[in-house]
Amino acid sequence: MPHFMLSWLQAVVIAGCLAAAAAAIRLSRARLMAVWGGVAWEAALLFGLYGLWQFAGSFTVMSTAGALPRARWLWHAERVLHLPSEAAVQRPFLPHPLLAQAANLYYDILHFPILIGCLIWLYARHRDRYRPVRTTVALFTGASLGIQLIPVAPPRLLPGTGMVDTAAAYGQSVYAWHGGLDADQFSAMPSVHVGWALIVAIAVIGVSRRRWRWLAAAYPLLTMLAVVVTANHFWLDEIAAALLVVLALAAQRAGRRLQDRKPDESLQVSSVPGEMSVPS
């Protein structure tokens, strides 16, 4: 299957071009050009973050030899916690090639375009809500990259679980392009797909006032199902992603409160006690 995702180098080149365009545009004093400069700069930040995500997926701080034992530990921990078996969830999909292939495509190509589409919508229609969401995405993604430096194998690579690598079974695996196992395949913890889907759903439900906004809740649920059906993540990968989203939201709000508490630099304290003067 063709690889629909940009490589880290492609993303970084695009980010660099957009940043250069933003800098050039901002030198213009035309109001319309200034607007496009802001758009270019925000796009550069997003592509830069994506490039960092792709680049970091190729590195670990520990040997990949420990990826399978850690995955085995997660599998046994889920049984202790009485979480449903991922194999039992996947099994009904296996006799239906169209469903399995649809899950593979969903997992491979939708997560980043939907996230970008949500951010574009916020930037264009709800500018005041854009920065908090963008910051939350950056915090969550950065935290996820830090955790993914410790390699953990996905269920599809763990023997004895009964899980089937559906992408490999139908010739849709993006990892076939790498020609073997690399560090990127051992970055299963946490599930960035699920985290991004949760952020999108929270943003849409929190910002929109239309009745259809509640349909956005189906997006993370479908994503949680897809990553299990394709044997790319454990339930604990998804739970970890959800916890990181909560922490990212809390950190973003705390940072915003601190910023709001900063005194207005335009205010000058008067020499008379109890008075404050504002320069004209």
Question: Could you report the per-residue pLDDT of 253-278, keeping only the tens digit for each?
Answer: 999 888 888 665 444 444 445 444 44
Q: Which two tokens stand for residue 169?
A: 């079974």
Give the per-residue pLDDT at 259.
Answer: 83
Q: Indicate if 35 and 94 belong to the same structural domain.
A: no
Mean pLDDT split into 10-residue runs, the chain, 280 residues: 60 77 67 65 80 68 78 96 96 94 92 90 92 94 89 92 91 58 73 96 94 94 96 96 98 90 55 45
Q: Do residue 194 and residue 247 come from a single domain?
A: yes
- Given this model, what pLDDT does residue 275 score? 46
Segments forming the whole domain that contains residue 140: 62-256
Q: What's the domain count of the chain?
A: 2
Q: What is the rounded CA–CA span in Å between residue 223 and residue 229?
A: 10
Do the domain assignments include residue 274?
Answer: no
Model pLDDT, residue 55:
72
State pTM to two decimals: 0.82
Are 176 and 229 in a shared domain? yes
Same domain, 121 and 102: yes
pLDDT score for 240: 97
47/69 same-domain check = no
Q: Which two tokens stand for residue 149?
A: 């430096």
What pLDDT score does 59 carry? Answer: 60
pLDDT of residue 39: 77
Q: Is the domain of 82 the same as that of 210?
A: yes
Could you give the C-alpha distances from 165 to 56, 72, 125, 174, in angstroms and in order? Answer: 24, 17, 40, 12
CB atoms within 10 A of CB 173: 20
Q: What percent of the chain has pLDDT over 70?
A: 78
In a domain, 266, yes or no: no
